[in-house]
Amino acid sequence: MGSAQICGFVAVSFLILTLLTDSSAACNCGGKNPTDLQQQFCTSDIVATGKFVGAVIGDPDWFWVRYDFQPTEVFKKPDKMFEINSLYTQLVGTTCSYRHYNPFNDDEYISTGYLAEHRIIITLCSFIKPWNQITRGQRRGLVMIYAKRCNRMTGFFDEF
């Protein structure tokens, strides 16, 4: 086997291993807990429920995946933002990219994200979960409690 074939074999093997490994194990959320909805509410720019209805994968010059998102309820967003209809995640170059593996159907999700360069960014560190898996207490928190607690917790999450 020649050196070119060995290099090709190593490159293909690396690519396969990269695709098969769990990227969430390598993702560093900077101390933020992606499963704590209260913390995610306080530290996110966007908190909304809605449906993932499609995806557009960027070309080689555009390293993003745009998920078409149809919001049903918005719990938190910047004052100057009018609509939430797209959520973005990086296509390459990060182990924290979110991948929506479920089919695009009528399932409703809750999603948190942050605003960067006029885009709503979601990652593995975002809280993204089917709405039917959210507890009654979490639902009540979204509507009545979480925003009030964020004001009292100012600075707490900055330690992470």
Would you state the pLDDT for residue 93? 65
Q: Which fold has domain 29-159?
A: OB fold (Dihydrolipoamide Acetyltransferase, E2P) (2.40.50)
Beta carbons within 8 Å of 119's beta carbon, 6+ residues apart = 64, 86, 88
* 51-85: pLDDT as tens digits: 999 998 886 567 889 999 999 999 999 888 778 89
The helices-and-strands tally (H runs, E runs) of the chain is: 4, 6
Residues in a beta bridge with 111: 48, 128
Give the E-state strand segments of 29-160 in sequence order: 46-57, 64-76, 86-90, 109-116, 119-121, 128-130
Top-confidence residue, 118 or 134? 134
Q: Which amino acid is at 104?
A: F
Residue 124 has pLDDT above 60, yes or no: yes
Residue 19 has pLDDT above 80, yes or no: no
pTM check: above 0.85: no
